[in-house]
Structure 1
Amino acid sequence: MELNEEQLDVAETELKRHLPFSLPVYGVLKLRKRLTTNRVTVFVDSWPNFCVIVCRPHCEQKSDFFKDILVFAKDETLLEETIRKPSVVDWSRYLCFGFNRIHMKTFKAVAAEKAVPCRVLPVCHMMILEDVSSLPSIDSSGIRLGSMDQSHIGLVNQTWQFGDNPGALRMIQSMVANYPSCCILDAEGKPVAWILVYSHCAMGMLHTLPEHRGKGYAKVLICTMAQRLHAEGYPVYCFIDEGNTLSYKIFTNLGFTEDPSYRATWMDFNELK
């Protein structure tokens, strides 16, 4: 069934009981009121005692590559039943799902049943900061901090590993317009390092221009953003690709931890041509 606004508030409270495993879906519900466009539709297997919740973004264009359908499930059988329903998932179009890796077998089984091609995208550590007060003291004296604006979107799109395409550009534009961001500006007011927040509330797109690396900018940005998110009542977490050992080390040194039983996994179906 599809949830209305009142039910979404109840679901948000329930998901909080299942942190950290429910973090991506919980993050979507926490941030949803900041976004006035491209809202999500949320489905559950039953109400009020649900075991499966699916957050499906509104996709208006074929190139909406980065609009992930996020899933939290406590029961594999109910998950399979839910994602089979045409009212929940249209398996004839391009799809990208984000979920805990333990559900991969279920998604592959449904895809095979429907003769839908699939592939595994990034598998990531989900790094969480449980105690913001444990962050080290960061000296930001002499550093000009600011927020990203629409004039910076092109730069982010060019430097992001999945960027440089129309779908990514729209996604970044929405992130900058609706969610917290933080950047370090040079003497001319141009960003040289930045961090954004995804629609599921995870920090991401952390980047420092090559000529400004080695100055500790990443730590300043992470700590600043973590404190801001915490102050505004949001969870503080991020996803790090399993192969990105440098970022993993930075976040670990700042006090972020993970539950090894959770691996954030993305899969897409009906690959875009």
Structure 2
Amino acid sequence: MEEVLLEGKNFKLVTESELPEIIDFLGDHLPDSIKFHQTLKTYLKDRVWEFHFYVTKTWPEQAVILHFPGMTRTPNGKLYESFSVFCPSDQLDNIYLLTDEDVLIDWTRPIYLNFTHAKIMEKLEEMYARTGTMEKLTGEVYCQLDEEIRTEEDESTTVFAEDAEMMQLSAEHAPMIHDLYPANHMECVEVFEKLIEKLPCFGVFSADGDLAAWMVQSYYGAMFSMQTRPEYRRKGYGLMLAKYLTKLVKQRGYMPFVVIRPENDASKGLYAKLGFKKYFETVRAILRPHEMSGDAQGGGGGGGKVTKQNGH
């Protein structure tokens, strides 16, 4: 098993007793901090996976926090090969602490950045430009910050068709959900098994018992992996699931949010009906040093740093 480092050059491992105070800090920066805020809340409450969080040694004066999930698929499967980062929008210059981190992160190898606020990623890309290139995938973060779900939609979405039933998913459904998940090359099936075991994960079942549509709550609090099998589309199952899971997520103390691809107008329309609004863009990226080919294997665990710019 890979050794968990207690500290790096600029960051230190967060103890569990410190997490509530960090959650409070992140709460002051919502909705920009929503992914980290909900990840920490989910971790403390439901412990879906064994995560590792690091903050700057000067926290909170220089408020940068890292999350190493240890479960996103990467070429070498290393703990420090994949992570996400958050810092407040008025502290983006402190990102240099990340690019100067040469113990936790090996910048001489490819790095896999999980969904991170677009403004943070822009700053990181600016600092990384001399070192390598970024392959990026953009999503849009939609949140429902209102206290109540829009009542005008309640009347039209509470009744299911007579030939369908909504139920909590079970572990046996994980392989099919994983197979049809668009980013299944980045997540192992065990992740979905854990989500189904620990968090609200619901499906709509036909009269014959077939799983027709489904949606799950993620380890980072978002509602995701909504899928409807082609033969069951245009029956309103997606809206029913989204409405029900939104209500349940809020009852369990989480703030409902989703990440939607910019071209997915159908999902945007669906969530608009439930009062969700777009707040910011988020980016997933692969960072590759210039000297490495596009299919190079990743690294992690020390050995290099990004050439700093802008006086840092």
TM-score in terms of structure 1 length: 0.87
Q: Does 1:157 align with 2:157?
A: no
- Counterpart mapping for 1:1-273 below 5 A: 1-33=12-44, 34-35=46-47, 37-44=49-56, 46-58=58-70, 62-63=74-75, 64=77, 69-74=83-88, 75-91=91-107, 92-113=109-130, 115-121=131-137, 123-131=138-146, 132-135=148-151, 136-137=153-154, 138-141=157-160, 142=162, 143-163=164-184, 165=185, 167-259=187-279, 262-270=280-288
Larger gyration radius, structure 1 or structure 2? 2
CA distance in 2, matches of 1:39, 1:265: 21
Aligned partner of 1:156: which letter? I
Give the TM-score normalised by the residue count of structure 2.
Answer: 0.77
Extract unaligned runs of 5+ from structure 2: 1-11, 289-293, 297-312
**Aligned residues between the structures:** 267
Structure 1 residue 116 displacement after superposition: 4.1
Q: What is the deviation of 1:140?
A: 2.9
Shift of 1:54: 1.5
8 Å CA contact 1:100, 1:265 repeated in 2: yes
Q: Give the 3 Å change call, closer, same or farther, for CA 58–177 of structure 1 in structure 2.
A: same
Q: Distance in 2 between matches of 1:90 and 1:69?
A: 12
| 3-state SS of 2:149 partner | helix
Alpha-carbon distance, 1:104 to partner: 2.7
Instruction: Verify the 8 A CA contact 1:24 1:70 in the aligned structure 2.
Output: no
Q: Secondary structure at the match of 2:169?
A: coil
Q: Is the 8 A contact 2:73 2:188 kept in 1?
A: no
| SS class of match (2:13) | coil
Runs of 5+ unmatched residues, structure 1: none
Q: CA deviation at 1:36?
A: 5.3
Q: Is the 8 A contact 1:84 1:110 kept in 2?
A: no
The percent identity for this pair of structures is: 17
Compared CA separation, residues 269 and 224, structure 1 to 2 (3 A): same
In the alignment, the residues of structure 1 paired with residue 245 and residue 180 of structure 2 have an alpha-carbon distance, to the nearest angstrom, of 20
Q: Tell me what 2:310 maps to.
A: none
Structure number with greater CO (CA < 8 Å, separation at least 6) is 2
**8 Å contact 1:206–1:218 — kept in the other structure?**
yes
